[in-house]
Amino acid sequence: MEFKDYYKIMGVERSASQDDIKRAYRKLSRKYHPDVSKESDAEEKFKSVGEAYEVLKDPEKRAAYDQLGANWQSGEEFRPPPEWDQGFEFHGGGFTEGDASQFSDFFETLFGGAHAAGGSRGAHFNLRGEDSHAKVFISLEDAYHSATRAITLRQTELGDDGRPRLKNRTLSVKIPKGVHQGQHIRLAGQGGVGIGQGKAGDLYLEVEFEPHPFYRVEGRDLYLDLPVTPWEAALGASVNIPTPAGKVELKIPPNSSSGSKMRLRGRGIPGQSAGDFYAVLQVVLPPADTEKAKALYREMAQQLAFNPRATLGV
């Protein structure tokens, strides 16, 4: 079935006011009235204009059509979503122009129940609101301890005239302990507003961690580049290191090298299966910026028979 662009048929923008739509209808209905127009397809155009006006003049029908039509363009193949025909109610009055059964299959599919139930109009659509999606940025520490954060969203709601409008809304969001990067937090009923008595959709917040000056996140595991001195790496040492849960003591085994990973099991992001914490050793050389430091380096060069390029054959 072909999707019908009622705004294009009426020659108005999607943001047109109800008065704009009424004026466009009066102009086009006079232009294409079969008793006046000499155009060969005047009767067909007259029916199309009447059908478009039947939908766009009614705030509820128009809002329902706008919500549905956002995903289709004129001429595309159309199939209404499964929930479209659920929970509709119809109350008194007549259609705009004659028998509504003359309208297209597209109209019949969307609004046919109104006259099938006895030639009435003013359908009250109980259509569930759309689900909304947004990102929420949290600190890594929030995932360890949980937190409550206020977020401001720009969401679409229906005004008194049935037209969509943007509005800022602030929500207080509970960040659960153990949440991980990319996880979705579902807030039931906080998505797009429903039409008629339809329930609001849900809001899905995708968790993203703010950049941290110390840690890298991979899944539930955390990585810390840990600076160590040459003697700590060579002789072994016990050093204090930071983690989002607090300081811990790390034992560095003797003869460790730069790039070695020290694993702290279960100290990554908490959860039913907690991640691990990895300290990646980075051996840092003291600067040779004094005569004493230079003398120590010269003594090491003389006393230690060490060639880091031996494996390269040079």
Q: What is the pLDDT of residues 178-216, one digit of tens each?
A: 999 899 999 998 887 776 677 888 899 999 999 999 999
Q: Give residue for tokens 């720009």.
A: 154
For the domain spanning 132-209, the CATH number is 2.60.260.20
Q: What is the tens place of the pLDDT at every residue in 127-157?
A: 677 788 888 899 999 999 988 988 888 766 6
User: Is 101's pLDDT higher than 60?
Assistant: no
Confidence check: pLDDT of 51 > 90: no
Of all residues in the chain, the percent with pLDDT exceeding 90 is 38
Which residues in the chain are classed under CATH 2.60.260.20?
132-209, 215-288
CATH assignment of 6-123, among 1.10.287.110, 3.30.1330.10, 3.30.43.10, 3.90.1150.10: 1.10.287.110
Q: Which amino acid is at 224?
A: L
Residue 33 predicted with pLDDT over 70 = yes
For the ranges 25-29, 113-117, 285-289, the one whose mean pLDDT is highest: 285-289
* Six token digits for residue 260: 């070695």
Going by CATH, does the domain composed of 215-288 fall within 2.40.10.120? no
Contact, 219 vs 275, CB < 8 A? yes
The most confident of the ranges 31-45, 60-74, 156-170, 230-244 is 230-244
Averaged over 38-58, what is the pLDDT? 86
> Is residue 127 within 8 Å of 82, Cβ to Cβ?
no
Six-digit token string for 146: 């949980």
Least trusted range by pLDDT, from 56-60, 127-131, 161-165, 303-307: 161-165
Most confident of 82-86, 169-173, 287-291: 287-291
The pLDDT of residue 210: 92
Between the CA of residue 247 and those of 204, 221, 226, 242, 243, what are the distances in Å?
34, 17, 13, 5, 6
> Could you tell me the two tokens for 172?
């207080």
Give the span between the Cα atoms of 311 and 132, in whole angstroms.
Answer: 58
Q: What pLDDT was estimated at residue 129?
A: 74
| C-alpha closest to that of 25 among 59, 56, 60, 66 | 56
pLDDT higher at 274 or 193 = 274
**Residue 199 is which amino acid?**
K
Give residue 197's pLDDT.
72
Percent of residues, the chain, with pLDDT higher than 70: 78
The residues, any chain, with a CB within 8 Å of residue 46's CB and separated by 6 or more, are 29, 32, 33, 34, 37
The pLDDT value given to residue 241: 96
Model confidence, pTM: 0.59
CA dihedral 6, 1, 95, 114 (to 10 degrees): -130
Query: Could you write out the DSSP letters of every residue in 275-296?
Result: --EEEEEEE-PPP--SHHHHHH
**Per-residue pLDDT tens digits for 275-301:** 999 999 999 999 999 999 999 999 999
Of 110 and 263, the structure prediction assigns the larger pLDDT to 263
Instruction: Note the pLDDT of residue 57.
Output: 86
310 pLDDT tier (thresholds 50, 70, 90): confident
Residue 94 has pLDDT above 50, yes or no: no
What's the mean pLDDT in 158-170? 70
Tell me phi and psi for residue 258, to 5 degrees. Answer: -60, 135
Neighbours of 269 (CB within 10 A): 23
pLDDT at 111: 66
Contact 265, 276 (CB under 8 A): yes
pLDDT, residue 124, reads 53
| Residue, of 29 and 240, whose pLDDT is higher | 240
CA 89-91-95 angle, to 5 degrees, is 110
Q: Name the average pLDDT for the chain.
A: 81
CATH 1.10.287.110 spans which residues of the chain? Answer: 6-123
